[in-house]
Structure 1
Amino acid sequence: MQPDTSSRPAEKQQIDLRRYRRVRWFFFKIFLQTLWWDILLNRPALRWFRPPALARWQAIARRFRSLAVEMGGVLIKLGQFLSVRVDILPVEVTQELAGLQDKVPPEPLEDVIAQIEADFGRPIAEIFEWFSPEPLGAASLAQAHRVRLRSGEGAVVKVLRPGIDVLVETDLAAISLAFRWLRLYRRLSHRVNLDWLVEEFSTVTRRELDFEREAENAGRLAADFKNDPRLYLPEVYREYSSARTLALEDVGYIRITDFETIEDVGISRAKVADQLYTIYMQQVFETFFVHVDPHPGNLFVRPLPCEDEIRAGITGFGPGDPVPHVPDRPFQIVFIDFGMMAPVPARLRAALREYVVGLGTRDAYKIVQAFVNAGTLLPGADLKRLEEVHEALFERFWGWAWGSSEQWRSERPGIL
């Protein structure tokens, strides 16, 4: 069956047809390659003509990465999304897509300023006391600049890229078409619910364009953890925010992957990992509202003064301030970017509890039933085989642990 290459996205959606055709053609070529190498030549007498599948898919991932860097938009997000889906792609392929968040060029300054001024209806000098011409960071859908508010506080504004609405709808239309083609590849469609995958990806991407929702998400998360000193969240300056501009407190402390600086100020990396894990477990099992975009650019470590420093009159450290080394320095985890927040529905809460009980009691049947109740398995999944797999995992790993945190870290370089 040949895909319909003349397919068009819905008329009501405003798209860039030239961009749509180019992205669609890229995915169509991948479909043709897959049809040729993995289906037509996947015969006993013809297989020796095929080049290694892994090398072919690595080359495709490299070509997609180049296209995403060149065109930006949702293609960057798709690459980031696929780079962590080891259930769909081999690790060697996902590694080719890793790091795309660092490859996004910023928008021209004049375009960003023009959009802010159109958003507020007045010159930028009347909105902010100072606006940094150099972006603090650039992502696929938005970029951030440091500002000084009229009230004198330093802040960071997150600004949607000009024209991003059209780019998002264009890319999502092409990606949806590509996923419809993928459904014809049974080896993949039998393992992954592709319709659910593209629907979830599209919904989450569109929500990231809604800064009002993001501000509400930040407020709800802050309310959930208002009495918890382990987590620090930036204040939202609503009077300096609008439909396409979101002003937040500057919380650019130590990036969670800046291991050297974390250790230089005396903070234990093992404690950072434990604290982040505990916060996420609390979100999943207690507050039922989860920050689902925990990549390194969205997580920071905020060093706090120790008792001796407080007695000496030091009340805190600002972003970028020098922080002296103090053994076992206290700290807080900082989250930013609240566009991707997910509530945990009641049905999934019960399934998660069932899963934890099954894990704690080594009950493979209960674990598989938790998957069933959560609705995470495709129709026709072999439940008996899943039980056998979990029983084998229990036999292999039950009771296994690292001797000490130092030993664990030395055996896992690059992990907190």
Structure 2
Amino acid sequence: MSDAGNMRARYRRITRFAARYLVQAWWYELFLPRLGLSRISAHGRAARLQRIAQRFHVLAVDLGGLMIKVGQFMSSRLDVLPPEITKELEGLQDEVPPVPFPAIQAMAEAELGVPLERAYSFVDPTPLAAASLGQAHRARLSDADAAQTGLTDIVVKIQRPGIDEVVDVDLRALRRVAGWLSRVRLVADRVDMPALVEEFAATSMEEIDYLHEAASAERFGELFRDDARVGVPEVVWERTTRRVLTLQDVTAIKINDVEGLRAAGIDPSEVATEFAAVMFDQLFADGFFHADPHPGNIFVTPRVGPEARPWTLTFIDFGMMGEVPDGLRRGLRRILIAAASRNGKGMVDGMRDVGVLLPSADTAELERAMTKLFARFGGMGFAELQEVDPREFRDFAIEFGDVVRSLPFQLPENFLLIVRAMSLTSGMCSSLDPAFNIWDAVEPYANRLIREESGNVVQGFARQAVSTASVAARLPQRLDELATRIEDGRLVAQVPRIERRLDRVERMVRRVVSAILFAALLIGGIVLRADEAILGTVLMAASVLPLLHALFAGWASGRGPA
């Protein structure tokens, strides 16, 4: 099959997968509950959702490209997606075979404009790492470049051939699916799917532009230039293009290699505490953060000599970076302070200030759930949570998840990356130290923020007092105006003339219900036949009855008075 044919087949495979399971979700989660069949809808829901996630996992690994990135983002959406899906996808990594070295060599030579043996004195044909967008090879600079840069051992990151076309097809398919979802009110009321896909597209296009990644690496290095906790590889600009990135080789102990850390005399629990502090600084102080801090992108580098620090956290892979605008950063600080003080209402207010919750959202249930969450689990570390009765934890998680998913959420710019970064940070720290308590890291940081913003709090109280006084001053006049309108008979309520239309509506309802039931049974049967042939066939046969009823009701109503 030609490349164009392969791309068409890829597009169809993604959209067909989405269409099939969107119809299935509509059938079970929307249509059956409207008929009063919620119990049937709930039966087997966990297994059904897990099966969908498993099949998406297989699809993502098979297709590669952006599909793996989509799965990774979905695994961090605990606020929107049920745990059966996020749990199944949380281990999704770039499980793709490497591109044969001759193809990689041809790509690199076309980009650099010189034979590979002239650009580098040595390139290892076996990749150090292979991902869905590119792969990395160990190499050494030529003598001339080594003398100029002061570096010898480097890592060359080379894009997979044809990845531009793959990304373009994947984004077109995702935009199509987002368009479908935007027509579903349940989804559209909570999240702007087309805008979310565009944010994901912008991040993806930056990730395949190695010049952008190189600039991000330098910017990140500048932020931590005087911080002995953090190390960043140098960029070899002379051997860097949009599709080839050459960096200093900083390979060391992977941050999640607990045995390796202990063998080097490094306490994993100290690494967890330091890593959390560094990520907090990026998010709440600098506003420019590493959005993909998984174990393969962070090393712990032992230091020798008279330096004060025995080790450094070394970050690599700056393709996925996030920025936190000043306004959003201030809102996140308020959320952090509320979390540290176990203030459920303050947490919800902070979420509203950040823009995660729409202004129209009724947050009474969320405030109650947050207060209950802090009262029962606030301050607990990962190890303590493991000792909680699983049934209690599961029941609360279901209740809390239902409350969160019922509210109208929207995602501010870059918020998805913030959620991803914090989720990976928490998971990393817990794997380094099962007794790690995120509250121990949050509280000192929040206390510092409280001290920094104490002056702003006083000013805020003053502004609120002035606003309250202003409202109170206007209140008597507004009440007087309302009383006058009532006395004059000018306060009226306009009611539609329902009586004359009632008969017509009743006739229309019968036809509409029958038509919807016919379509639902027919589509549901088609969808289910692939997995449950008998049930699918029965549903398709049963669809004939509401079809006949719709036709008969239409004929009968046509004979009656209009």
Question: TM (normalized to structure 1)?
Answer: 0.83
Partner letter of residue 79 of structure 2? D
CA–CA distance in structure 2, aligned partners of residues 64 and 118 of structure 1: 35
Give matches, 1:215-364, under 5 Å: 215-305=214-304, 310=305, 330-364=310-344
- Cα distance, 1:241 vs. partner? 0.8
Match of 2:131 in 1: 139
Q: Which moved more, 1:79-88 or 1:114-123?
A: 79-88
79, 87, 95: which one pairs with 2:87?
A: 95
Distance 1:288 1:95 in 2: 29
Alpha-carbon distance, 1:226 to partner: 0.7
- Rate the CA distance shift 1:97–1:49 in 2: closer, same or farther, 3 A: closer
CA distance 1:378–1:225, shift in 2 (3 Å): same
Cα shift readout 1:77-133 (whole Å, capped 9, x = no counterpart): 111111222222233322322333241211121111111111012211111111111
Q: Provide the rounded CA distance (Å) in 1 between the counterparts of 2:221 and 2:24.
A: 49
Q: Give CA-to-partner distance per residue, 1:231-286, whole Å, 9 cap, x none.
A: 11111111111110001111221111111211222211111011111111111222
Q: Of residues 19, 23, 38 in structure 2, which corresponds to 1:28?
A: 19
Contact 1:193 1:378 in 2 (8 A): no
Give 2:372's aligned amino acid: A
Identity of aligned residues (%): 40
Is residue 299–residue 315 contact of structure 2 (8 Å, CA) maintained in 1?
A: yes
Cα offset for 1:197? 2.5
1:190, CA displacement in angstroms? Answer: 4.0
In 2, are the aligned partners of 1:88 and 1:192 still within 8 Å (CA)?
Answer: no
Could you tell which deviates more after superposition, 23-32 or 347-356?
347-356
Residue 357 and residue 84 in structure 1: after superposition, are their counterparts in 2 closer, same or farther (change >3 A)?
A: closer
CA distance in 2, matches of 1:400, 1:66: 36
Map of 2:474 onto structure 1: none
Q: 1:388 aligns with which of 345, 368, 393?
A: 368
Deviations 1:2-58 (A, max 9, x none): xxxxxxxxxxxxx93232122111111112222233333333348538751221121
Structure 1, residues 155-183: CA drift from partner, whole Å, max 9, x if none? 11111111111111100111122222233
Query: In structure 2, which of residues 54, 58, 61 is the aligned counterpart of residue 66 of structure 1?
Result: 58
Matches within 5 A, 1:116-265: 116-151=108-143, 152=146, 153-265=152-264
Output the aligned Cα RMSD: 2.7
* Residues in 2 aligned to 1:220 and 1:154: alpha-carbon distance in whole angstroms: 22
SS of 1:396's partner is: helix
1:204·1:340 contact (CA, 8 Å) conserved in 2?
A: yes
**Aligned equivalents of 1:161 and 1:379: distance in 2?**
45
Residues 269 and 432 of structure 2 are in contact (CA less than 8 Å); yes or no, is this contact kept in structure 1? no
Q: 1:245 to 1:345 in 2, by over 3 A?
A: same
Q: Is the 8 A contact 2:253 2:300 kept in 1?
A: yes
Q: Distance in 2 between matches of 1:92 and 1:403?
A: 22
Tell me, in whole angstroms, the C-alpha distance in 1 between the residues paired with 2:285 and 2:109: 42
User: Computing the radius of gyration over CA atoms, which structure comes out larger, 1 or 2?
Assistant: 2
Equivalent position amino acid for 1:236 in 2: V
CA distance in 2, matches of 1:364, 1:67: 40
Change in CA separation of 1:413 and 1:354 when aligned onto 2, cut-off 3 Å? closer
C-alpha separation in 1, matches of 2:430 and 2:336:
28
Which amino acid in the other structure matches residue 48 of structure 2? R
Structure 2: gaps spanning 5 or more residues: 1-5, 147-151, 388-428, 434-562
Deviation at 1:363, TM superposition (A): 4.3
What's the secondary structure of 2:125's corresponding residue? strand
Cα 1:239–1:92 shift into 2, 3 Å:
same
Contact 1:142 1:158 in 2 (8 A): yes
Number of aligned residue pairs: give it. Answer: 377
CA contact (8 A) 1:347 1:373 kept: no
Q: 1:370 to 1:51 in 2, by over 3 A?
A: closer
The one of 337, 351, 368 aligned to 1:371: 351
- The separation in 2 between residues aligned to 1:195 and 1:49, in whole angstroms, is 28
When structure 1 is superposed on structure 2, of 148-157 and 230-239 the one drifting more is 148-157
d(CA) in 2 for partners of 1:260 and 1:190? 48
| Structure with a larger share of its residues in strand | 1
Structure 1 gaps, min length 5:
1-14, 316-328
Provide the C-alpha distance between the structure 2 equivalents of 1:400 and 1:78, rounded to a whole number of angstroms.
Answer: 31
Q: Does the CA-based 8 Å contact 2:156-2:247 persist in structure 1?
A: yes
Note closer, same or farther for the CA distance 1:379–1:28 as it changes in structure 2 (3 Å cut): farther
- Give the whole-Å Cα distance in 2 for the aligned partners of 1:297 and 1:245: 20
SS at match of 1:356: helix
Please tell me whether the aligned partners of residues 136 and 144 of structure 1 are also in contact (alpha carbons under 8 angstroms): yes
Under a length normalisation based on structure 2, what TM-score does the superposition of the two structures give?
Answer: 0.62
Q: Deviations over 1:201-229 (max 9, x none)?
A: 11111110121111111111111111111
Looking at structure 2, the residues matched to 163 and 173 of structure 1 have their Cα atoms a distance apart, in angstroms, of: 16
Change (3 A) 1:161 1:185: same
- Given that residues 192 and 378 in structure 1 are in contact (C-alpha distance below 8 angstroms), is that contact kept between their aligned partners in structure 2? no
Aligned to 2:48, the other structure's residue is in SS state: helix
- Residue 189 (structure 1) shift: 4.2
Contact 1:358 1:364 in 2 (8 A): yes
Q: CA distance change for structure 1 residues 129 and 65 in 2, over 3 Å: closer, same or farther?
A: same
Q: 2:127 aligns to what SS in structure 1?
A: strand
Q: Point out the more displaced range, 251-260 or 39-48.
A: 39-48
Greater shift in the superposed pair: 185-194 or 329-338: 185-194
Asked whether the equivalents of residues 232 and 316 of structure 2 are also in contact (C-alpha less than 8 Å), the reply is yes
* 3-state DSSP of counterpart to 1:157: strand
